[in-house]
Structure 1
Amino acid sequence: MMHVLGLDIGKDTVFAHLIRMDGATHSLAAVPNTAVGFRQLLTWARTHGAPRATLHVVMEATGVYWERCAQYLFEQGCTVSVENPTRIRYFARSKARRGKTDAMDAALIAAYGSTMAPRTWRPPSAALHELKLLCRERSTLVVTLNAEQNRLHAMNHRAVVTQRLMALIQERVAFLQTQVETLERSMRTLIEGDPALAEPLQLLLTIPGYGFLTAASVLAETDGFALLETGRQISAYAGIAPAPVESGTSVHGHSRISKIGNAHLRRTAYLAASGARKSKGRVGEFYRHLRAQGKPPKVALVALGRKLLRIGLAVVKSGQPYQEAYRRCTPSVP
C-alpha cells in the first residue's frame, strides 16, 4: 500500500491532493509546472509523511502538459500512473461530483488512484517517443492532405474555375505530399537504426493487414507492447473491448466497444482490419464468417481489428512470426 498523490496539471500550474495510507488528506495550491515546482511537490509530500519512495502519483494524460512532470517524478523514484481522462470523468460521475475547480480535480484524481489502483507508467525509450511523434504528425498531415485534395476535386467541377486559386491548392497538395513522404522516410530511418524497433516491426509485418505504417503506429502507440501482457489488456488499452449493455432481466442491448482508450491505436487497428478483410487466410476467414452470420461490416471490422491487435501482441511477446496454421481464429464480436 502506498500514499496516493493526485495531480491536476495545466499548462502553467500543478494542483496536488495527497491521500495518506492512514486516510488523512492534504491539499496543495498551485505550484509551477516546472522542475522547480516538481521539487516543491516532493518536499511538500515529505513534510506530510509521504517520502517519494512511498508515493503513487496519479495524473491525467491531458495534452502534453503532463509529460515533463511524469518523467521527473518517475526519475525521482515515485510510482507514476498516467490515466485516460475519460476514465476519471466516468469515476467522477459515479461519485455524483458537483462543481469543478483545479483543487477539486486533484482531489478527484487522488480518490480515483486510491480506489482503482491504476497500472503504473514507464517512460518510453527516446526512439519510441520520437516514432510516436512522427506517426501522429503524419496522420495529422494526411487528414489535411485529403481535405485539400477534396477541395481540388470540387474546384475542378465548378462552373467557373479560378486558375489562381487552383494553382494555390495544387501547391499546397504538392507541399503536403512532400511532407508526408519526408516523415515516412524519417520513420524508416529511425526504425532501421534501432534493433529494438526493427525486430518487432519485422514480426508484425508477417501478419495479414500489417504494412509498414500500420506496424510502426502500433509499436509507437503501445510503447513496443512494454506494459501489455494479455489480449484483454490491449483491447482495453485501445478502447476496442466490448462493453455489454445489460440491466436486470429487462434490458439486453447490443454490446458496443467502450472507446475509452487510445484513439490513435483504435484507428490504426481499424485500418489494418480494412486491409486484412480480403486476405485468403484465417484472418480473412474470420471477417467473412462474421459477415455470413449477419454482422454489419463495421462490427466485423472492429472485431477483426481487435483480433489483429491481439495477434500483434502475441507475435512480439513470443518473438515468433505469425503462423497461418498455428491457431484458428475464433470469432468474438462486440
Structure 2
Amino acid sequence: MKNYEEVVGIDVSKKTIDVKCHLAGKHHVFSNEYKGYLSMFKWVRKTTKGVQLFYCFENTGNYSLKLASYLTLKEVPYVEESPITIKRSSGLVREKSDKIDASMIARYAWLYREELEPSKLKDIAFQEMGRLLGLRDQLVRNRAGLIGTFKETQQLLKSSSKYVGCVLLKRSTDYLAKQIKAIEARLQELILENESYSKNFSLLQSMKGIGFVLACQLIYHTQIFSRFKTWRQFSSYCGLAPYEYSSGTSIHRRKKCHYLGDRKMKSLLSMASISAIQHDQELRLYYKSKVAEGKPKMIALNNVRNKLLARAFDVVKRGTPYVLLKQYAA
C-alpha cells in the first residue's frame, strides 16, 4: 500500500465502528451498517481534505464482513489484517478500549504501509464454504458432548431405554447427525459447481489419509492454494514447523513447534497422518524409519504431517493425482 498519504484505522464491533485518522489525529464512532458507512466516508473526506488514503481493520468474522463488502462495492482500497498480528506489533499496551484499538490499527497500517497488500473480498461460494465448515465443527462438538452424556446416563440406569432423558438424548444425537450430513451434501454441491474447487478436491483425495473434511478445509484455509506460496509457509500457519530456540552459549534447546497456529487444522492433520500411516506403505516405512532413528513418536508423527502437506501442495501444483510408487516397485 505505497504512495498513500493517510491511513484510517477502524475497530469493528457488533453495532459500532470506531474510526481513527492516523496523521490527522481525529476519532469518531459510527454505526456498523450502511448509513454508518456513508457518514464515515463524509467525515473522513472532511477530516483528511481529500488526500489519498486506505482503510485498515481487523478480521472479526461476520462483524467485519459487512464493512469489507461495502468497501469492495465502492472500490475503496482496504487491508483486512489478523488481530494477533496487530496486537503483537503494538508493544506493551496497558489500557483497552475501542478508541485505543482504532489508534493501534491506524498506527500499525501506517508503519507497515509499504509491506501491506490490499485485501480482496472472497467470492460468495467461498464465504458459504467457510460458514458451513464452521457450523459443521460446532455441530460435531455438540453431538460428541451429547453422546458422552448419553453413555454416562446409560451406566447409571439399569433400563435406560425407558428413561425419557436417554430417549431425548438419542433423538438429539440422531438429529444432529442428519444435519451434519446435510451440511456435507451442500459442501459437495459447492465443490462440484466450481471447476477449480472440484479439480483440487479430486487431487487431494487421491492421497491416502486425506478425506472429505480435510480436503475441504485445505481448500478453504489455503484459498484454493493461492494464499501460501509453499507448503512450509502453510505448515508454519498450522503450527507444525519446528523453530530454533537458542541464546548465547548457555541456552540451546531442541527445536519445537510454536504454540501459535491453527489448532483445528493441526488436529485434522494429526488424524490424517495416523490414517495415512496405516494405509500408505511409503508413509508407514517413513514413520518407522524416523522412530528407528531415535526420534520420539510425536516428532515422527509431525514429520508425517509435514510430508502430507508437501504432497498436497505438490499434487495441486502439478495438476496430477498422487501415485504410490511402491506398488510399482519390482
Give the one of 136, 140, 154 matched to 1:138: 136
CA distance in 1, matches of 2:225, 2:50: 31
**Can you give the 5+ residue segments of structure 1 that lack an aligned partner in the other structure?**
327-334
Report the CA distance between 1:49 and its aligned residue: 4.2
TM-score, normalising length: structure 1 = 0.84
Any idea what the Cα deviations from partners look like across 1:51-89, whole Å, max 9, x if unmatched?
69x444322222421111122223333333333322222
Equivalent position amino acid for 1:226 in 2: S
Report the CA distance between 1:8 and its aligned residue: 0.9
Residue in structure 2 matched with residue 9 of structure 1 by the alignment? 12
Q: Which protein has the larger Cα radius of gyration, Structure 1 or Structure 2?
A: 2
- Per residue, is there more helix in 1 or in 2? 2
Residue in structure 1 matched with residue 223 of structure 2 by the alignment? 223
Report the CA distance between 1:48 and its aligned residue: 4.3
Aligned partners of 2:58 and 2:81 also within 8 Å:
yes
CA distance in 1, matches of 2:272, 2:66: 32
Is residue 72 of structure 2 the alignment partner of residue 74 of structure 1? yes
Report the CA distance between 1:11 and its aligned residue: 0.4
Between stretches 139-148 and 306-315, larger displacement belongs to 306-315
Q: CA RMSD in A?
A: 2.7
| 1:19-98 → structure 2 map (5 Å cutoff) | 19=22, 24-49=23-48, 54-92=52-90, 95-98=91-94
Is residue 105 of structure 2 the alignment partner of residue 109 of structure 1? yes
Aligned partners of 2:24 and 2:48 also within 8 Å:
no
Equivalent position amino acid for 2:12 in 1: I
3-state DSSP class of the match of 2:120? Answer: coil
CA spacing shift, 1:31–1:262, aligned 2, 3 Å: farther
Report the CA distance between 1:250 and its aligned residue: 2.0
Report the CA distance between 1:276 and its aligned residue: 1.6
Report the CA distance between 1:159 and its aligned residue: 5.2
Residue in structure 2 matched with residue 253 of structure 1 by the alignment? 253
**Can you give the 5+ residue segments of structure 2 that lack an aligned partner in the other structure?**
none
Any idea what the Cα deviations from partners look like across 1:175-214, whole Å, max 9, x if unmatched?
1111111111222122222222111101111222211221
Aligned partners of 1:55 and 1:78 also within 8 Å:
no
Report the CA distance between 1:12 and its aligned residue: 0.8
3-state DSSP class of the match of 1:65? Answer: helix
Between stretches 306-315 and 187-196, larger displacement belongs to 306-315
Report the CA distance between 1:230 and its aligned residue: 1.9
CA spacing shift, 1:252–1:266, aligned 2, 3 Å: same
Residue in structure 2 matched with residue 149 of structure 1 by the alignment? 147
3-state DSSP class of the match of 1:96? Answer: coil
| 1:120-199 → structure 2 map (5 Å cutoff) | 120-158=118-156, 160-161=158-159, 163-199=163-199
TM-score, normalising length: structure 2 = 0.85
Number of matched residues? 319
CA distance in 2, matches of 1:79, 1:258: 33
Residue in structure 1 matched with residue 273 of structure 2 by the alignment? 273
CA spacing shift, 1:41–1:227, aligned 2, 3 Å: farther
